[in-house]
Chains A and B, each alone.
Chain A
Amino acid sequence: MNNNKIGFVESISLTLIVIISHILLNLPNEILGSTASSGPLNVIYITVLAVIIFLVFNKLFSSFQGKDILDVAEFVGGSILKKVVSIIYTLYFIFTCGILLLNFANTLKTIYLQDMPTSLICLVFILIALIANQFGFKNVSRTNAIILPFIVVAILIIFFALSVRFVPERFFPVLGYGVNNTFILGATNIFAFGQIILLFLLRSHHKEPKDTKKIGLTSIILSGLILFISVTSLILIFPFATGGEGILSIYMITRSIQFGTFFQRVDAFFILIWVLTFFSYLSVIFAFTLKITNKNLKTQNSNIPAFLIGLGVFIVTLIPQNIAQIRFAENVIYKYVCLIIVFGMSFAILLLGYLKKNKKGMVTIRS
C-alpha cells in the first residue's frame, strides 16, 4: 500500500489499545501489588514521568523530522545496528504479545471454555490477527479506532456501575507501603507505558509530522487516565489486602456489577468486548512487527514474515508450563525487558543520533 498515512484518532487508538489490553489482564494488579493503597497516587506519578520522558524523547527526535527510530538507528550505526535493533524489537513484540495472549486465553478458558485446549484458543487469535493484517496496516488501525471507544466506554461503565460500592476510605493510608515504595521503587511501574515505543515507530506514518507531539501527549495522558480509573475502581472495591491476589481482577469486579434485579451478571458482555480488544491488540502488534521486518528486509510480499511472526507468537504461547510461569513472565520479565528496551535502548539510540546529528551540524556550520 502506498498510502499508509493514518490520522490523529487512529494513531492515538493504536497506542491506547496496548495499554488497555494490559489493563484488562493484570496491569492494575501489578501496580497495586507493589504500591497497595497508594496505587492511584503512583499512577499519577508515573504518568507525569512518562510525559516528561516523552518530551525528552521528542526533543531528541526533533532533528529527525518524519523518521522513526529505526531510521535513527541506521543513521547512528549503519544497517547493522538497524538490523540488530529491529530484531530486538521484533522479539520484544513477539514475546510480550505471546505472553499476554496466553494469559488471556487462559482467562477465557477459566471463564467459559473449560475443556478447550488453550493452544487452540491462542491459534484463533493468531489467525484473526494474520487475517486482519492481510487488509493492510491502515485498515487495522481504522478497525482498532472503531473498537476502542467501545472498550473505553466499557471501562467507564465498570467504573460508574461500581461507584455505588466504592469505599473511599480505601484510598488510605495514602502512602501505601511508604514513600520509598511509591515513588522510588514505584517509578519502575513506568513499564506500564511501554506502548510509547509504538509512538516512535509510528512517526513516519503520521499525516502531519507536526501532530507527533500532540498525538504522543494525548495518548499518554489518556492511557494514564484509563489506568487511573481501573486502578481506582479496583482499589475502592477490593480490600487492599487482596489487591494483588486475583489474577482476573477486572473480570472479578465486573462480576459484581448489578443494576436492579434485572441487569445482573452482565460480565459476559464484557468478555465480548475484551475478545474484540484482544483481536485488535494482536492485529496492531502484528502490524507493527510486520512493519519493522518489512522495513528491514525490504520485501514486497509480507505474507512470509507475517506467517513467521504468527508462528513465533504461537511458540511463545506454548512455552510456559503453568500459571506461575505466566505470571512470572508477565510481571518480572516483561517489566524489566520493557524498561531496558523501551526506555533504555531507545533512549541510547536517540541520544547517540542526536549527538551525531548535532556534531555534523556543527561541522557543516564550521566548514
Chain B
Amino acid sequence: MKAKKILVFMLIVVLILITLFGMNSVTSMDNLAYVVAVGFDIKDTGKLELSFQIALPSGSEGGSSGSSSSQSSSSIVTSVECNSFESGVNLVNSYLSKELNLSHCKAVVFSEEIASQGIGEYLYTLINHVEIRPTCNVIISKCNAKYFLNNSSPMLEQLSSKYYEIASTSERVTGYTYNITLLDFFSDFADSFTECFATLGSVNDGGISSSGSNNNSSNSSSNGSNSDQSSSSLSSEGTDDSYVASETPIDSQKNIENLGLAVFKGDKLVGELNGVECIAHLILTNELENAVISVPSPFESTNYIDLYLTNSKCKSKVYLTNGTPYIKPSIDLSARIISMSDDYKDLTEENIELIEEYAKYYVERFIYDYLYKTAKVFKSDITAFGKYAVSNFATIDEWNKYNWLDNYQNSFFNVDINVDIVSRYLLIDT
C-alpha cells in the first residue's frame, strides 16, 4: 500500500514535470492562426512563394460578437517568399501575432507554373507534416496560387473552410472534376501502376482577363485538345462541357472555379483535361456518380439532347501481347433524357434506339479522345489501367522490370460501350 502511494506521488510529479517542460509547445487555442488553405507559387527568381489563407473566426473583428453579417472578409491571405515550406511557415510566424496552425488546412493549391516544374519535394514535406491532414484537397490552379486564394471568397458560404469542403464534392453533381485529396495524390504519385492527377481550379472573372494569371499556355493546350475534338465528326465545340476552369462563361463576381483535371507525369504537370474528358476519366475509373452530357440530336443537326448519365459501370481488362498493353474497357451506362427540343411523341422505340446509338457513338468518341490524349499526348496513365495489368505479374521484380508507366504510351485500346436510355418525363401528353 505504501509503495502504491509513493508511486502515485512520483507519477504526479512526473506529469507536472512534463507539463513544465512542454509549456512552451502548448499554445492556447486563442493564440493560433488557423490556416484554411496553402498556396504554392514560384517567383521569377526561382524562389518559392507561399501563401496562407488564414481564417478570421467571426467576432475577432472588432468586438461586436453579435453581428454575423458582412462575413465577406472572414479570411485574410498572407504570402512570403522563401526557400522551403517550413522556413516559409517560420517567416510568417515571425510577422504574424499568432502562430500558424495547419491542422485545419482544407486545400493545398499549386500554381500551374510550379506544378510543371515538379512538386515532388513539397509533396513529401506535406505528407510528412504532422499538422496537415492527408485528407485535404489538392488543387492545381491555372492562375497564380495567391491570386486563387485571394479570390476564394465564397458566395454561398460564410466560412471559406466550409466552402473548400463542400465545393470539392460538387463533382458528384457535374462530373466535370474530381476531388483529389493529398493522400490520393501522394499514393498515385508513389504507385507504380498509375500517375497522379489533381483538381484543376482557377479564378473565373467572367471573361475579364485576370491579372497574375497565365492563361496563355493553358489556353493553347486546351485549344489543342479542342481542335482534336473538332477534327472528329461530332464536334463538341459548342457543348457546355468542353471548358476547363476559368473559361466557363459565368456572369458573376470573381470566384474560384474547379473544373477539369490536371494531369501529371511523375511529379510534373503535363496537361489538362476539360469537363467532358473528366467525365470520361470518371467513367473509366468507375467513379462517376452522375453527369449531364449534351448529345447532338439525331433528328435535327443544330439541336442537342441532354442526357443524364447514371449507373456507370466499367470493367477493364489489360492483356499484354508481346510486351504491348492491349486495354479493353467495357462500359455500361444508363442515361435518362432530361431535355430535348423535339416533341416527346417522337420517342418511339426506333427513335430511342437511334438516340442510344448516337449517345453510344458520342460517348465512345470522347472516351477514345480521352484515351488518346492520355496515352499519346500526355503519356501518363492517370486512369490506373496499370492495376489491371499488375495481376499478370507474379513478383514485384518482374513488374518493376516491365515498367508499366513507360509502356503505357504504346497501348492499344478497344472500348466497348453500351448505353441504355430510360426516359422519365413528367408530362406524358401535352
Contacts and interface: CB of A to CB of B under 8 A. Distances in A.
Complex A–B touching at CB under 8 A: yes
Contact of A173 (B135, B165, B398): B398
Contact of A255 (B1, B10, B133, B187): B133
Given A115-B24, A120-B14, A127-B10, A169 B193 contact: yes
Contacts of A242: 187, 190
B394 A173 contact: yes
A128 B165 contact: no
Q: 8 closest pairs, A vs B, by CB? A: A115-B25, A169-B387, A239-B191, A116-B22, A134-B4, A172-B390, A127-B11, A239-B190
B183 A256 contact: yes
Question: Which of A117, A131, A174, A176 has the most chain B CB within a 10 Å cutoff?
Answer: A131
B299 interface: no
A124 B15 CA distance: 7
A114 B24 CA distance: 10
B390 A175 contact: no
Nearest to B24: A115
A110 interface: yes
A117 B21 CA distance: 7
A237 interface: yes
A265 B165 contact: no
A261 B165 CA distance: 7
A120 B25 CA distance: 15
B150 to A, nearest CB: 24
Interface in B375-408: 387-388, 390-391, 393-399
Interface in A114-149: 114-117, 120-121, 123-124, 127-128, 130-131, 134
A113 B22 contact: yes
A238 interface: yes
A76 B377 CA distance: 75
Contacts of B193: 169
Contact of A114 (B3, B22, B103, B387): B22
A365 B394 CA distance: 57
Given A116-B18, A127-B7, A172 B191 contact: no
Interface residues of B, number: 41
Given A113-B25, A116-B22, A172-B390, 18 more contacts: A115-B23, A115-B25, A116-B25, A120-B14, A130-B7, A131-B4, A172-B387, A176-B395, A177-B397, A178-B394, A178-B397, A237-B187, A238-B187, A239-B191, A239-B192, A241-B192, A242-B190, A264-B133
Question: Which of B22, B130, B133 has the most chain A CB within a 10 Å cutoff?
Answer: B22
B134 interface: yes
A225 interface: no
Interface string A242-255: 10000000001001
A167 interface: yes
B29 interface: no
A257 B371 CA distance: 32
B76 interface: no
A110 B399 CA distance: 36
Contact of B8 (A116, A131, A240): A131
A111 interface: yes
A177 B397 CA distance: 7
17 contacts: A117-B18, A121-B18, A123-B14, A124-B14, A124-B15, A134-B4, A169-B193, A170-B387, A173-B390, A177-B397, A239-B190, A240-B396, A255-B134, A256-B134, A264-B133, A264-B135, A265-B103
A177 B398 CA distance: 9
Interface string B90-118: 00000000000001000000000000000
A115 B21 contact: yes
A172 B394 CA distance: 8
B18 A176 contact: no
Contact of A169 (B8, B187, B388): B388
B128 to A, nearest CB: 9
A124 to B, nearest CB: 5
Nearest to B400: A241
A173 B25 CA distance: 45
A37 interface: yes
Interface of A: 36-37, 110-117, 120-121, 123-124, 127-128, 130-131, 134, 165, 167, 169-170, 172-178, 237-242, 252, 255-256, 258, 261, 264-265, 303
B394 A124 contact: no
A177 B14 CA distance: 47
B338 interface: no
A201 B173 CA distance: 61
A173 B133 contact: no
Contacts of A176: 395-396
A303 B396 contact: no
A361 B199 CA distance: 77
Contact of A113 (B8, B18, B103, B181): B18
Nearest to A176: B396
Contacts of A238: 187, 190
B21 A120 contact: yes
Nearest to A265: B133
B191 to A, nearest CB: 4
Question: Which of B10, B165, B390, B396 has the most chain A CB within a 10 Å cutoff?
Answer: B396
Contacts of A240: 192, 396
A252 B7 CA distance: 34
A261 B391 CA distance: 35
B399 A173 contact: yes
Contacts of A255: 133-135
A104 to B, nearest CB: 15
Contacts of B4: 131, 134
A167 B390 contact: no
Contacts of A239: 187, 190-192
Given A177-B396, A242-B190, A169 B390 contact: yes
